[in-house]
Amino acid sequence: MDLHCSDNQQLTTDNSKNLSRHPLSIAIISYNEERTLARCLQSIADLAHEIVLVDSGSQDKTLSIAASFGARIIHQPWLGYAAQKNVAIDHCTQSWVLALDCDEEVSPELHQSLVRFFEEGRYKEVQGASFARKTWFLDRWITHGDWYPDKKLRLFRRDQARWINPIHEKIALEGPVVTLPGELLHYSFPSMKSYLDKIHPFSEAFLKEQRQKKKPWSLGATITHSLWRFFRAYILRCGFLDGFPGLWIAVATAFAVFVRYSRLYEEEKRATESTTE
């Protein structure tokens, strides 16, 4: 269902009057995101022709916050990350799309880069643009390890891009891509618990993917993948420079990988037990 918030049409016009000539849509998916959505929308309120928000049943103030920024709200039951984000793309009307998560914010420097990208006509020469993403965790910005620079391709031609992958979805795009100065600020994990809470759903998605590929469990893969993720994040990518948060991220990431691969062992053991009963 497509719900356009007519009471906020004037706000939409005011926010976008400086750059409405640029062919840009903002695409966002949401579910109970009142904690971070306003900050996200405020950072891009004057940046695009339209804001398209695909919501999967929020019961908090998410929709009223989106409406206050003049967003066009699409109601869509949850389809999975990639599929849900593709629905958002499909409802955009402009030739270029900037895809954001509710817990992200466009920094002032990145905002200026996006403005120049269109004003200088660079969008006519490429198919997309990427930029670094920086995460706030345990009261500090994480600037090393696996979490930084965490380059993301989020600006792209609407008719050339699709989200793929059930886990850690990404944009599939052919053609030249440029890197823009500035950072996308990420407020994904307000606590350690919030990170740990995501381990289970990601392990479920990983297990489903491995089933489809008919991949068997391997003790060697379970251990080496986990150790490699710690070594890469903490040593090779200098996670130790982020202090204890850097150590915690490296250990927690390695543990998350260990859990994912261990789920295959559990699945095979249950299958064996069921055949012997």
- Note whether 238 and 180 are same-domain residues: no
- Note whether 119 and 227 are same-domain residues: no
Confidence of residue 271 (pLDDT cuts 50, 70, 90): confident
Q: What percent of the chain has pLDDT over 70?
A: 91
- Note whether 84 and 201 are same-domain residues: no
Q: Range with the lowest mean pLDDT among 17-31, 64-78, 209-223?
A: 17-31
- pLDDT, residue 226, reads 98
The count of structural domains within the chain is 2
- pLDDT, residue 213, reads 87
Q: How far apart are CA 136 and CA 77, in angstroms?
A: 30
Domain boundary, last residue among 154, 186, 218: 186
- Note whether 62 and 137 are same-domain residues: yes
Task: Specify burial of residue 213 (Cβ count, 10 A radius: 0-12, 13-18, 19+).
Answer: exposed
Structure tokens at 242: 């982020």
- Note whether 66 and 132 are same-domain residues: yes
Confidence of residue 8 (pLDDT cuts 50, 70, 90): very low
Local structure of 95: helix, strand or coil:
coil
- Note whether 140 and 257 are same-domain residues: no
- Note whether 11 and 138 are same-domain residues: yes
Residue 164 in this model has a pLDDT that exceeds 50? yes
pLDDT digits (tens, 9 = 90+) for 190-220: 999 999 999 998 899 889 888 888 889 999 9
- Note whether 27 and 147 are same-domain residues: yes
Can you tell me the mean pLDDT for 152-173? 93
Enumerate the H helices of the chain as residue ranges. 9-16, 37-44, 62-68, 81-91, 108-119, 192-196, 199-213, 219-231, 243-276
Mean of pLDDT over the chain: 91
Selected residue with higher pLDDT from 14 and 267: 267
pTM of the model: 0.85
pLDDT digits (tens, 9 = 90+) for 81-131: 999 999 999 999 999 999 999 999 999 999 999 999 999 999 999 999 999
In CATH, what number is assigned to the domain containing residue 33?
A: 3.90.550.10
- pLDDT, residue 21, reads 66
pLDDT digits (tens, 9 = 90+) for 219-236: 999 999 999 999 999 999
Confidence of residue 20 (pLDDT cuts 50, 70, 90): low
Which of 110, 259, 194, 156 lies closest to 164 in space, CA to CA? 156
Can you tell me the mean pLDDT for 40-47? 94
- Note whether 110 and 228 are same-domain residues: no
Ordered DSSP codes for 97-141? EEEEETTEEE-HHHHHHHHHHHHTTGGGT-SEEEEEEEEEETTEE
Confidence of residue 30 (pLDDT cuts 50, 70, 90): very high
Domain boundary, last residue among 170, 186, 202: 186
Structure tokens at 221: 């893969």
Confidence of residue 273 (pLDDT cuts 50, 70, 90): confident
Residue 22 in this model has a pLDDT that exceeds 90? no
- pLDDT, residue 119, reads 94
Which of 135, 96, 138 lies closest to 117 in space, CA to CA? 96
Dihedrals φ, ψ of 152, to 5°? -125, 135
- Note whether 62 and 175 are same-domain residues: yes
- Note whether 156 and 49 are same-domain residues: yes
- Note whether 65 and 120 are same-domain residues: yes
Domain boundary, last residue among 160, 186, 212: 186
CA neighbours closer than 13 Å in the CB half-sphere of residue 241: 13
Q: How far apart are CA 231 and CA 224, in angstroms?
A: 10
CA neighbours closer than 13 Å in the CB half-sphere of residue 209: 15
- Host domain of residue 178: 2-186
